[in-house]
Amino acid sequence: MSTSSPYDLVIFDCDGVLVDSEALACVVHAEVLTEYGYAITAEQVHERFLGRSAREARLEVEGELGRVLPDTYTAHLRATIDRVFGEKLTPVPHIAETLGKLSQRICVASSGTPTRIRSSLGTTGLTDFFAPHLFSAMQVERGKPAPDLFLFAAAQMTTPPARCLVIEDSVPGVTGAAAAGMTVIGFTGGSHCRPGDADRLRMAGAAAVFNDMRVLPALIAQNPNSSRIAAI
């Protein structure tokens, strides 16, 4: 148990927090959906599906289309993301040095599939910081913005929700973590982030917002739940 803060566990989202993947994923998702008859831009994917699982995005799209997407859709989407991520995926700046400085236990709670989480962390050299504590929305009934994934991760790590701190970059993620009774900090340092994101994350329930991973250890030590800290 950490004696320097009220948190025993720090739960990290993966995409956009550990790996700088969201901008890449939005482009791929838009291209594949359009190819399968659902015209959409990367900007629209960002606005509608950021932070949510591909499973939930697919169900919403199918509801609007009034038909089920072909069986090949998911495999094609995953294969295309695999190729693009393999070529272009990078870790969020300074994340490795930051993870090495944290005294709390850490884990991942991501809307991605277990395979995607492992692949992304492996590609960016972050696996050893987290394995085997990698939790996916595929393991719970409801993904973000429901609290299920965060509560599942806390239970697996035998940590009360009140002793958990979550790092999230999306409104669905912040909403879910807050609903789970956890303190959540918004991160706006990914290449997909844009003006206004910090305000949106605060409105969703973030106790603080920051944009540089190097300040995270100090931010945790300040106990962000004790007051609303300005964006860093």
Phi and psi at 39, nearest 5°, equal -65, 125
N-term to C-term CA, the chain: 27
Per-residue pLDDT, 4: 54
Q: How many angstroms separate the CA atoms of 95 and 203, rounded? A: 25
Q: How many angstroms separate the CA atoms of 41 and 102, rounded? A: 38
From the number of C-beta atoms within 10 Å of its C-beta (0-12, 13-18, 19+), residue 166 rates as buried
One-letter amino acid of 150: F
Collapsing DSSP to helix, strand or coil, 164 comes out as strand
Collapsing DSSP to helix, strand or coil, 161 comes out as helix
Collapsing DSSP to helix, strand or coil, 154 comes out as helix
Q: For the chain, what is the mean pLDDT?
A: 91
pTM for the full model? Answer: 0.84
One-letter amino acid of 224: P
Structure tokens at 160: 């009360």
The structural domains of the chain, ordered by start, are 9-20+90-226 (3.40.50.1000), 22-88 (1.10.150.240)
Count CA atoms within 13 Å of residue 208 on its CB side.
23
Per-residue pLDDT, 163: 96
Ranges in the chain, pLDDT < 50: 1-3, 227-232
Q: Which of 92, 130, 186, 110 is nearest to 9 (CA)?
A: 130
Per-residue pLDDT, 23: 87
Per-residue pLDDT, 232: 44
Phi and psi at 195, nearest 5°, equal -55, 135
